[in-house]
Amino acid sequence: MALQTRKSNPNKPVRLMAYGVEGVGKSTLGAKSDNPIFISPEGGTDQLTTVTGNPVDEIPNIKDWASLRAAVKSLISEPHDFKTAVLDSADWIEGLAHVKIIGSSGKTITTCNGGYGSGYRESQNMHQELISDLASLRDKRDMNIIVTAHAHVKPVKDPEMFHDYDSFEIKCHELVSSLWREWVDGLFFIRFRTYTKTLDDTQKARAMSDGKRVIHTVKQPAFQAKNRYGLEPEYEFTTGFWNTLIEKSKGFKETIESVNAEIADLWAVIPDQATKDLVTKTINETGNDIVRLKIIRSKLAVLTKGAHQ
């Protein structure tokens, strides 16, 4: 039998998950995407509008696992002109799976099916079937896939660290979270920009926010994230982020040389020599680590904002 191969296709539709705390704008990302259709057991679409200012479309009455699967399959088989399927949200979808598994047994997802994690494993299998449907939707109908999720904080046991630490993660059981993390090409953590301020005459600090939102695309100890699109590690989260994502996803690959060239341009307009020296030292220590170089570039862009004007 002849060996079968295929060429990679950087123009395939995007598949991503956006997660964060309540009200940070996860669903808004879906609403501002290309001609979206929502599948939302959460039911929070009434206040959402598209980039043209029109109300978003949704498939109604997603009340159980069967109606969820039927909605996805209808997008595969029925005629329509939607370009992006938005599933809102993963943790509510997981809840539908749990309800189906538990049924009328009167037990919990932990104790049903004989316990010992069998309920969670069945949920994992059900989510694998759902993801298979979404893959078919992406391939057969050329649709982008966006899945939203809420975030929660979990302790992390890192074998390279002496102490455990806390991290934001997808608010689903790990068997399901890992499926989503592995399948998507972009896992984006969205948060409100937060800083601390020490109160006068005290040693206490208060968390503050300027209301701006940030989207992270590269994993850090404080949160899970990834991207295969050559994105910057961090962006200000605005309605224009979708256009940036699509531009980057179409086969764009940055090189160390191109990033260093942009850093050099930004370095040239730093107003004081002491800062220039510090930046130079940091760049030299970074070497050819392109992820860290992109972080330096992002920080320099903020530092020198307006210097070109």
Residue range 74-96: average pLDDT? 96
**Token pair listed for 151:** 């975030």
- With a threshold of 0.85, does the pTM exceed it? no
Confidence of residue 59 (pLDDT cuts 50, 70, 90): very high
Sign, CA dihedral 160-190-229-283, equals negative
Confidence of residue 309 (pLDDT cuts 50, 70, 90): very low
pLDDT, residue 253, reads: 57
pLDDT, residue 43, reads: 85
What are 144-169's pLDDT values in tens digits? 999 999 999 988 888 777 788 899 99
Residue range 178-185: average pLDDT? 96
Q: What is the 3-state secondary structure (H, E, C) of the chain?
A: CCCCCCCCCCCCCCEEEEEECCCCCHHHHHHCCCCEEEECCCCCCCCCECCCCCECEEECCCCCHHHHHHHHHHHHHCCCCCCEEEECCHHHHHHHHHHHHHCCCCCCCCCHHHCCCHHHHHHHHHHHHHHHHHHHHHHHHCCEEEEEEEEEEEEECCCCCCCCEEEEEECCCHHHHHHHHHHCCEEEEEEEEEEEEECCCCCCEEEEEEEEEEEECCCECCECCEECCCCCCEEECCCCHHHHHHHHHCCCCCCHHHHHHHHHHHHCCCCCHHHHHHHHHHHHHHCCCHHHHHHHHHHHHHHCCCCCC
Please give the radius of gyration of the chain, using alpha carbons only, rounded to the nearest integer. Answer: 22
